[in-house]
Structure 1
Amino acid sequence: MISLRTYLILLAILVVERIFELDRARRNAHRAFQHGAVEVGQAHYRVMVAFHTLFIASCAVEAIFFPHSLPRAVPWIALLAEIVAQALRYWAVATLGDRWNTRIIVSPDRAPATNGPYRFMRHPNYLAVVIEIAAVPLIGGAIFTAIAFSIGNALILAVRIPAEERAMGGRYADALGSRRRFFPGLRHG
């Protein structure tokens, strides 16, 4: 089992990572707006930010006050899944470059990315988030957080993904419409 101290350090690292991501997103948004980009989905974005903040807090609270004993392999498998999720996330971020954002910001003059992980699926970053929200709590024995926030994330993505795809428009549909949302080779999601 991973120690509580180690788990809390991991959560702190994730908080720092999120702060850097939000700063990068802010800078990318500023550049995009200077070039005529528009933003959609502001209302659900605020909910998403609050949700992800509560997620980290819930992981910590459950691990500290209500930890569950899981089979020995589960935290290690969850840690491996988190490492895979991080690799997928940063592959997507690197592929998008200055187009990457935590908000839905669309530049009408830019073609959608079809390289990197986007060769295989439409939403690799969201797949990374799905994996992370299931895995990170399990690293620290926070099984209720894993379940509750996985359900909550599914509800958020049920709103966010269609909003993003509509905002991206016809060029996006033409370029990526035949790709699966998350898993290559499975039915469209």
Structure 2
Amino acid sequence: MTDFKVAIAILAFVTLQRLAELAIARRNTRRLLARGAHEVGAGHYLLIVALHGSWLAGLWWLAPGRPLIWPLVVAYFLLQPLRLWVLASLGGRWTTRIIILPGAPLVRSGPFRLVRHPNYAIVVAEIALLPLAFGLWEMAVLFSLLNAALLTVRIRTEEKALQASR
């Protein structure tokens, strides 16, 4: 299989994965809101969607046909079981938004025993690794910096909301 076809397969996988996650997140968000939860930080959510959408669109535009750096491709795919571990640990509380369910205890099982925000750590690695796997270091740096700025706002917002809900 040529690098072009491998790139298309990788990008199709990532795109389908993200679309499936959005569907899961929407379902979980609806269920949480129906149980009395509320959203916090909705103002920056569209920026996060724009960032991730732009990252993926940029990869579709720039990556096909570029030579692959296989150890980085493998590293990217080794993150995926960790992503699933986070989703499984949070179960119906996993969403792409900050949804606070009053009175619900923090999840402290799975990767949350080891890292305060494991999903964000995985996303940080993914945003850097996938462009680097295609030799797109400028894209990796740009989106990593933008993501760091957004995560700074998001984590502060989430932490403040979690503290207030206790």
* TM-score class, shorter: over 0.9
Which residue of structure 2 lines up, in the alignment, with residue 110 of structure 1?
A: 104
Distance in 2 (alpha carbons) for counterparts of 1:84 and 1:62: 23
Structure 1 residues 121 and 171 mapped into 2: Cα distance closer, same or farther (>3 Å)? farther
Does the CA-based 8 Å contact 2:124-2:144 persist in structure 1? yes
Offset of residue 145 of structure 1: 1.2
Which residue of structure 2 lines up, in the alignment, with residue 175 of structure 1?
A: none
Does the CA-based 8 Å contact 2:103-2:165 persist in structure 1? no
Which residue of structure 2 lines up, in the alignment, with residue 183 of structure 1?
A: none
Which residue of structure 2 lines up, in the alignment, with residue 89 of structure 1?
A: 83
Structure 2: runs of 5 or more not aligned: none
Identity of aligned residues (%): 40
TM superposition score normalised by structure 2:
0.92
Which residue of structure 1 lines up, in the alignment, with residue 37 of structure 2?
A: 37
Q: Secondary structure at the match of 1:118?
A: helix
Does the CA-based 8 Å contact 1:85-1:129 persist in structure 2? no
Cα RMSD (Å) of the superposition?
A: 1.8
Which residue of structure 2 lines up, in the alignment, with residue 10 of structure 1?
A: 10
TM superposition score normalised by structure 1:
0.81
Does the CA-based 8 Å contact 2:127-2:143 persist in structure 1? yes
Offset of residue 88 of structure 1: 1.5
After superposition, residues 10-89 of structure 1 pair within 5 angstroms as 10-64=10-64, 67=66, 75-89=69-83
Distance in 1 (alpha carbons) for counterparts of 2:74 and 2:105: 34
Does the CA-based 8 Å contact 1:76-1:139 persist in structure 2? yes
Does the CA-based 8 Å contact 2:100-2:165 persist in structure 1? no
Question: Deviation per CA, 1:108-153, whole angstroms, max 9, x where unpaired?
Answer: 1210100100001110000110110011112222222111111111
Distance in 2 (alpha carbons) for counterparts of 1:26 and 1:163: 20
Aligned residues: 165
Distance in 2 (alpha carbons) for counterparts of 1:105 and 1:156: 17
Offset of residue 59 of structure 1: 1.5
Does the CA-based 8 Å contact 2:127-2:144 persist in structure 1? yes
Distance in 2 (alpha carbons) for counterparts of 1:167 and 1:85: 28
Does the CA-based 8 Å contact 1:95-1:113 persist in structure 2? yes
**Which of the numbers 143, 146, 154 marks the counterpart of 2:148?**
154
Distance in 2 (alpha carbons) for counterparts of 1:147 and 1:58: 13
Offset of residue 57 of structure 1: 1.1
Structure 1: runs of 5 or more not aligned: 173-189
